[in-house]
Amino acid sequence: MRAEVLTAPAGDVPRWAGAVLCRDVLDADQHVVLSKGHRLDPDDAPALAAAAPVALHVVWLDEGDVDEDTAALRLAQMVAGSGADFHRPVTSQVRLSAAWRGLAQVDAAILAAINALDGITIFTIADGTPVERGATLAGAKITPLAIPGSVLNEAEAVARSVSEGRAVRVQPFLPLRVSAVVRQAVDAEARQRFEASLRRRVSWLGGTVERIGYAADRDAARRALLEATPGADLLLVVGVSSVDPLEGTWRDLLDAGASVVRRGLPVHPGSSYWVVTLRDATVIGVGSCGMFSRRSALDLLLLRSFAGQPLDGQFLAGLGHGGLLQSARTWRIPAYDRQVETDER
């Protein structure tokens, strides 16, 4: 790519035809008549004559160079995976958007490796962000006016190394069945608030609430667990604590053959939660904070589960990064949370 300044260029068509503009060409009223990145051709002569620029800053592309728009499209194509649509270039940037509601998946290591190549910039939302259909996932562009094709070929080789498809994907939510057993005494108003909050969350994720039972004593809780487990993909035991190793429901689950995944989570609110598996169901012990909190570890666990991904020890240990769920971390919580906040004030 070769740069050149052409002085008094308006009438001299052969000098600028085929060159790419480095900056906008403005008319006497400072309106853009030809935009940066535009490849000049003889049809632009009237516009140039009317604007009468003193000089044109242009570049000439070498064989194998790729212009901004074409390069941006290639970048978008190489990172867009399942559930990520890409659009036509706007100001030489291609936007990626969600094809459906789900959980955004970004391979940060692959993204960094591609962005390490000179002239390439791909920017995304954070991995694990819940998104609506049409939400912006990423933008792709190059910083120069053109880039050697060899650089794009190298970027494509890096992108192909992703083991599960492309670097930016949207994992759709599964229609899971959720049941809950509440292990504390609550009045009718509190029950209504809890049930409305739970149903709203599960409905947003595309699932159904199969059963909600209330059990103030251990025997009632045991019966409720036995009744709820067969028809549930996820079972919530609400109002428990991870700090009491003799807590009745915890002991009953272990006696029934539950496998412990983790007790206590590096999340606030939600540090007292626990996760076990029983038969084909995942059982989540939810502290009292989970009944009415505007955001808690429960939201993160539901998102992960509905996206079809396991609540394994590695994932749960990694929740500490971003696990302080203050208002600044609301990007981690789906849009249903705004309605929940309104209802719970």
What pLDDT score does 335 carry? Answer: 74
CB 212 within 8 A of CB 234: no
Output the pLDDT for position 118.
96
At 105-125, the pLDDT tens digits run 999 999 999 999 999 999 999
Token pair of 211 as six digits:
């059963």
Of 39, 60, 81, the one marking the end of a domain is 60
pLDDT for the residue 164? 55
Among 13, 34, 60, residue at a domain's last position: 60
User: For 309-320, what is each residue's pLDDT tens digit?
Assistant: 999 999 999 999
User: Model confidence over 168-215: pLDDT tens digits?
Assistant: 999 999 999 999 999 878 889 989 999 999 999 999 999 999 999 998
Q: Are residues 194 and 154 in the same domain?
A: no
What is the tally of structural domains in the chain? 3
Clarify whether residues 208 and 82 are in a common domain: no
Contact 82, 123 (CB under 8 A): no
Report pLDDT for 337: 53
What integer pLDDT is reported at residue 8 of this predicted model?
64
If asked whether residues 135 and 257 sit together in one domain, one would say no
For 6, counting Cβ atoms within 10 Å of its Cβ (0-12 exposed, 13-18 middle, 19+ buried), the class is middle
DSSP code per residue over 234-264: EEEEES--SS-TT-HHHHHHHHTTPEEEEES
Residues 123 and 207 in one domain: no
Q: Is there a single domain that holds both residue 18 and residue 87?
A: no
Full residue range of the structural domain in which residue 253 is found? 177-344
Q: What is each CA distance from 242 to 109, 208, 233, 272, 279, in whole angstroms?
A: 35, 27, 22, 5, 21
Looking at the structure, tell me whether residues 225 and 319 fall in a common domain. Answer: yes
pLDDT tens column, 49-82: 888 887 888 888 889 999 999 999 999 999 999 9
The pLDDT value given to residue 207: 97
Domain boundary among 171, 197, 217: 171
Q: Could you tell me if 165 and 196 lie in one domain?
A: no
Global pTM value: 0.84
pLDDT value of residue 148: 95
CA 297 – CA 289 distance, rounded (Å): 10
- What pLDDT is recorded for position 196? 92
The answer on 183 and 162 residing in a single domain is no
When pLDDT is cut at 50, 70 and 90, the band that residue 140 belongs to is very high
CATH number for 88: 3.90.1170.30
pLDDT for 287-301, tens place per residue?
877 777 778 899 999
Whether residues 129 and 183 fall in one domain: no
In CATH, what number is assigned to the domain containing residue 40?
Answer: 3.90.105.10
Report the pLDDT value the prediction gives residue 344, as an integer from 0 to 100.
43
Mean pLDDT of the 240-254 span: 80
Share of the chain above pLDDT 70, in %: 93
pLDDT in tens, 7-39: 766 656 677 888 888 888 888 888 888 888 888
One domain, residues 163 and 228: no
For the domain that residue 206 is a member of, what is the CATH number? Answer: 3.40.980.10
One domain, residues 56 and 136: no
Is residue 93 domain-shared with residue 48, that is, in the same domain? no
